[in-house]
Structure 1
Amino acid sequence: MTAPQQGVGALNDPCFELNCTEDEWCGEKNDVYGCFCNKSHHRPDPQSFDFSEVCESSSGSISLSRCQLFEAGFPADNLHLNDPNCKGTVWNGRVEFYFDNNDHICGTSILANGTHYIYENFIFGTSDSTEGPISRKGILKLNFSCVYPQTQSLSMNMEINPLESIVHKKLPAGQGRYQVRMVPYQDAEFSKPFNGSVNVELNQQMFLEVHVDGIDSRQFATVIDSCWATPENDPNHSVRWDLISGECPSPNDETVELLQNGVSTSSRFSFRMFFFTENSTKVYVHCTIHICLLAGNHCSTHCDSGSHLREGRSAEFHDSASISMGPLMMSERNQGI
């Protein structure tokens, strides 16, 4: 029977398991078989082995060209992340590494420097697989990081009567992404979001939640810096009414209650509905928020003293965003007042 013999021959072939792609060819170097690059192989960034990185919230994936690594003397099997147990996997000629903040940390460290927060790790390997305490062979160490810049501002074009306002923050390659949502609720339990148009009575208590999706709730909290209202869908409108300033309720509006801020990925506040005297029954609400690293215990705000001054932002400050929502419509029964 020839089929089993062919299978045994394939298993004994060192090139069989390598499964080199059409852009690679199997060969031997330093007594090790691996995939070399074809002459036509595209090399956009050979100095970093065509390094590619994708960051999503508190996870990241990194891939490199397998054949370029092998030609430099580093077989894929000899490479790992900071944690030696986190080996790469080969897919379509790329050696891919992955980490996340759950069960696959892989020695990743998180840093904050006042302008960014950074997930850092590195790819490490040697040109041989010696298990001894020393080696005089070549080594490879490629540092990489997922970075969230601290200061980015954005605006959002709103629909006429949105039930939920969402801002997506998309950052360049090697940087993370997340989204900010602002939702109006009818009740203090935040269980009944408004459906349809947001039509409320004059002096009715409004409950608003600002929530950030796409970040690790065990490491980060959402902090509202400021919120204000305008009669038109323009956060820079000349007429405005401050609701929250300096991370605390505005001293000019006694109806504002800051219910939750800096303790989770959701911040909540309430105020009583009003109208602008310049012949407008619409209210648009705008907020600026930042994301704070919980490890420093400096995210929650303390406004009981009446002072709205806060210590200078430390390294726990991560990233900022702006979001708008509206209009909140005055109920028709109040418009004759």
Structure 2
Amino acid sequence: MAAPVRIQSKIHPDNFDATESCDGTNRSVSVSRCQLFEAGFPAVVLHLNDPSCKGVAQDGRLVFHFDDNTCGSILEVNSTNFIYKNSIQSFSSVGSRSVVSRDSWLNLNFSCVYPLIQSISAPMTFQAINSVISKNLPGAEGTYQIRMVPYSDASFTSSFSGTVTLQVNQQVFIAVEVDGVDSQVFSTVLDNCWATPYNNPNHYIRWDLISKECPNAKDGTVQVLQNGVSISSHFSFRMFTFTGVSDSFYLHCRVHLCQVNGGHCALPCDDDDGDEDDGHPIVRRRRSLDFHDSTSISMSF
């Protein structure tokens, strides 16, 4: 009895020299127009998950652009990454009722993968130059930016610029902001913030400002002003020096991205977990565990 012959009509994606770009929310995939045409796929028959999203011819290539909520992109989230998936497809033959078919078809899957949790340390000498970190994922090349910006006012409208001298006990306001992710899906959560006298976040001399999302009870000047409710988190504290060590210090924060989903991404902070307020015990709500990316960022004063 003769063995059955298996016919494969799906074209291998390597034939099309596919290249992905995952820079923040500006995502695209490009393929060789020449290789596509030779395989029987002219540009007019190709589209993304959403058939209305066609490619644009650029320098001998066919480029497909897609954003967070467009072109049928699918968002998947796991414990370590958030992933936007899509595919380049060819129009199927419409109305064909033949028993056999000699049409080729294309389904080129691709994705942009971004880490949920990162640890970034970016020294910023206090000439008040914004500290910006661009995170690259090996292979997937998904990137977004995190920056730490110092402000002089509680409304976060006047950021420091140039060379600035701050007095001990002067209130300073810090914003940790993320660019390149969907602000409708993710929020930024301050996990821990601390200071060291040298440009080393792991130095044995340190002073905690925020611990487990809440102000350090030993430092009565710290206020967590906004945390886990938007793509930007805010806190403030009064300036200090490390006694007998240095007149300057480096500020570090470890943060993570959280998928909002209508839940609470950060715990409420109580003055004393064991106290009662007006005879009623204080109850701490459980936060969302949808960690997506964590990072640490630093600046120096």
TM-score, normalised to structure 1, is 0.74
Task: Give the Cα–Cα distance (whole angstroms) in 2 for the partners of residues 84 and 138 of structure 1.
Answer: 18
- Which of 66, 71, 86 is residue 33 of structure 2 equivalent to? 66
**Would you say the 8 A contact 2:267–2:287 is kept in 1?**
no
Corresponding position of 2:222: 256
**How many residues in Structure 1 have an aligned counterpart in Structure 2?**
278
Task: Give the Cα–Cα distance (whole angstroms) in 2 for the partners of residues 109 and 249 of structure 1.
Answer: 37
Taking the TM superposition and a 5 Å limit, the aligned residue runs for 1:112-123 are 112-123=77-88
Amino acid at match of 1:122: S
Task: Give the Cα–Cα distance (whole angstroms) in 2 for the partners of residues 134 and 229 of structure 1.
Answer: 71
Amino acid at match of 2:191: D
How well do the aligned residues superpose, as a CA RMSD in angstroms? 2.7
Amino acid at match of 1:223: V
Corresponding position of 2:268: 302
Corresponding position of 1:24: none
Taking the TM superposition and a 5 Å limit, the aligned residue runs for 1:97-176 are 97-101=64-68, 105-126=70-91, 130-132=93-95, 136=101, 137-159=103-125, 161-172=127-138, 174-176=140-142
- 2:20 is the counterpart of 1:53: yes
- Which of 271, 294, 297 is residue 320 of structure 1 equivalent to? 294
Task: Give the Cα–Cα distance (whole angstroms) in 2 for the partners of residues 121 and 134 of structure 1.
Answer: 29
Query: Can you give the 5+ residue segments of structure 1 that lack an aligned partner in the other structure?
Result: 1-44, 328-337
Amino acid at match of 2:67: D
Question: What secondary structure is seen at the aligned counterpart in 2 of 1:77?
Answer: helix
How many Å apart are 1:153 and its aligned residue? Answer: 2.8
Task: Give the Cα–Cα distance (whole angstroms) in 2 for the partners of residues 288 and 55 of structure 1.
Answer: 24
- Which of 161, 166, 179 is residue 200 of structure 1 equivalent to? 166
How many Å apart are 1:289 and its aligned residue? Answer: 1.3
Amino acid at match of 1:325: M
How many Å apart are 1:276 and its aligned residue? Answer: 1.6
How many Å apart are 1:71 and its aligned residue? Answer: 2.7
The C-alpha deviation readout for 1:240-270, integer Å capped at 9, x for no partner, is: 0100111121232222110001111211001
Taking only the aligned residue pairs, the percentage that are identical comes to: 53
**Would you say the 8 A contact 2:112–2:141 is kept in 1?**
yes
- Which of 201, 217, 233 is residue 235 of structure 1 equivalent to? 201
Could you say which structure has the greater relative contact order, defined with CA pairs below 8 angstroms and 6 or more residues apart? 2
Which range is displaced more, 192-201 or 145-154? Answer: 192-201
Structure 1 stretches of 4+ with a deviation exceeding 4 A read: 309-313
Taking the TM superposition and a 5 Å limit, the aligned residue runs for 1:87-98 are 87-98=54-65
Amino acid at match of 1:183: V
Corresponding position of 1:12: none
More helix by share: 1
Question: What secondary structure is seen at the aligned counterpart in 1 of 2:241?
Answer: coil
Amino acid at match of 1:240: R
Task: Give the Cα–Cα distance (whole angstroms) in 2 for the partners of residues 134 and 300 of structure 1.
Answer: 56
Task: Give the Cα–Cα distance (whole angstroms) in 1 for the partners of residues 272 and 186 of structure 2.
Answer: 26
* CA separation of 1:260 and 1:161: change in aligned 2, threshold 3 A: same
The C-alpha deviation readout for 1:200-255, integer Å capped at 9, x for no partner, is: 33322221111112222222211111100112222111110100111121232222
Amino acid at match of 2:153: D
Amino acid at match of 1:132: G
Question: What secondary structure is seen at the aligned counterpart in 1 of 2:240?
Answer: coil
**Would you say the 8 A contact 1:117–1:148 is kept in 2?**
yes
**Would you say the 8 A contact 1:81–1:97 is kept in 2?**
yes
How many Å apart are 1:174 and its aligned residue? Answer: 3.5
* CA separation of 1:190 and 1:219: change in aligned 2, threshold 3 A: same
* CA separation of 1:133 and 1:274: change in aligned 2, threshold 3 A: farther
Greater Rg by CA? 1
Task: Give the Cα–Cα distance (whole angstroms) in 1 for the partners of residues 87 and 97 of structure 2.
Answer: 20
Task: Give the Cα–Cα distance (whole angstroms) in 1 for the partners of residues 251 and 192 of structure 2.
Answer: 11
Corresponding position of 1:32: none
Task: Give the Cα–Cα distance (whole angstroms) in 1 for the partners of residues 195 and 217 of structure 2.
Answer: 15
